[in-house]
């Protein structure tokens, strides 16, 4: 079980780095580069912050790569709990990785064009909504695995499941009813802290060491 605790803390560390890259991409960069105006203004702002924009591209690539490693660590951590759910967790992340790289391909293309037409037709917020459209799905098997494990508290599993549904609702609201996106975000925000709580628990507490004769998982 010492190995399980180390694996849990490694997962927590990767989760922390992944969250930091996400905050950088979704909050810091948009606060510095204004891409909400017309195409020419957006292009000028990108060119005036070209290094930051390029940094954002690298950040996105690094974030997607870390996500792959993180979910493989999760698989190692939870395969003894329920291997089928652990495999589903990996699958739901792996199929989303191309979307993350596609977002950065749009960014690279936009920078090469230097006019912003691509950004105008596919704005930053829309690219982010595409990237997070199915992010909530991977949290569902993760939450089930946490709930059924004997080395992590059940409330974290429940919170992750709620977090997953909250992300799905937010994504579909942004695509179908964008005028209500901000309102839904405010309502769903506490639920979306489940990932942060889970990351902090893994990083600080790790996994609970169980007696050698205890069950590996709960049904």
Q: Quick check: is 81 in a domain?
A: yes
- Give the distance between the most distant pair of CA atoms in the chain: 67
Q: Quick check: is 47 in a domain?
A: yes
Q: How many folded domains does the chain comprise?
A: 1
Q: Quick check: is 213 in a domain?
A: no
Q: Quick check: is 62 in a domain?
A: yes
**Sign of the CA dihedral running 182, 36, 18, 144:** positive
How many angstroms separate the first and last alpha carbons of the chain? 19
Phi and psi (nearest 5°) for 165?
Answer: -65, -35
Residue 35 belongs to what domain range? 2-133+195-204
Residues 6 or more apart in contact with residue 202 via CB below 8 angstroms = 8, 9, 11, 12, 15
Q: Quick check: is 65 in a domain?
A: yes
Q: Quick check: is 156 in a domain?
A: no
Q: Quick check: is 118 in a domain?
A: yes
Q: Quick check: is 33 in a domain?
A: yes
By three-state DSSP, how is residue 79 classified?
Answer: coil
- Verdict on whether the full-model pTM lies above 0.75: no
219 residues of the chain, pLDDT tens digit each = 578 889 999 999 999 999 999 999 888 998 888 877 666 677 778 788 888 888 888 898 889 889 999 999 999 999 999 999 999 999 988 888 887 777 777 777 766 665 444 445 455 555 555 555 566 788 999 999 999 998 999 999 999 999 999 988 887 787 678 788 889 999 999 999 999 999 999 999 888 766 554 544 444
- Predicted local confidence at residue 8, as pLDDT: 93
């Amino acid at each position: 079980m010492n190995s399980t605790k180390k694996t849990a803390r490694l997962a927590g560390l990767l989760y922390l780095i992944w969250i930091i890259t996400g905050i950088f991409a979704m909050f810091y960069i948009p606060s510095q580069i204004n891409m909400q105006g017309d195409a020419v203004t957006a292009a000028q702002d990108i060119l005036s912050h070209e290094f930051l924009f390029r940094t954002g591209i690298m950040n996105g690539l690094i974030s997607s790569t870390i996500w792959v490693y993180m979910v493989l660590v999760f698989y190692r951590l939870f395969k003894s709990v329920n291997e089928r759910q652990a495999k589903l967790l990996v699958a739901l992340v792996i199929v989303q990785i191309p979307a993350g790289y596609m977002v950065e391909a749009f960014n690279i293309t936009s920078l090469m064009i230097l006019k912003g037409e691509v950004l105008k037709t596919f704005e930053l917020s829309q690219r982010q909504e595409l990237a997070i459209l199915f992010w909530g799905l991977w949290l569902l098997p993760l939450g089930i695995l946490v709930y059924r494990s004997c080395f992590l508290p059940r409330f974290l599993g429940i919170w992750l499941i709620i977090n997953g549904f909250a992300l799905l609702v937010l994504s579909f609201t942004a695509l179908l009813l964008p005028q209500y996106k901000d309102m839904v975000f405010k309502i769903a925000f506490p639920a979306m802290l489940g990932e942060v709580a889970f990351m902090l628990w893994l990083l600080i507490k790790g996994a609970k060491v169980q007696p050698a004769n205890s069950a590996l998982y709960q049904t």
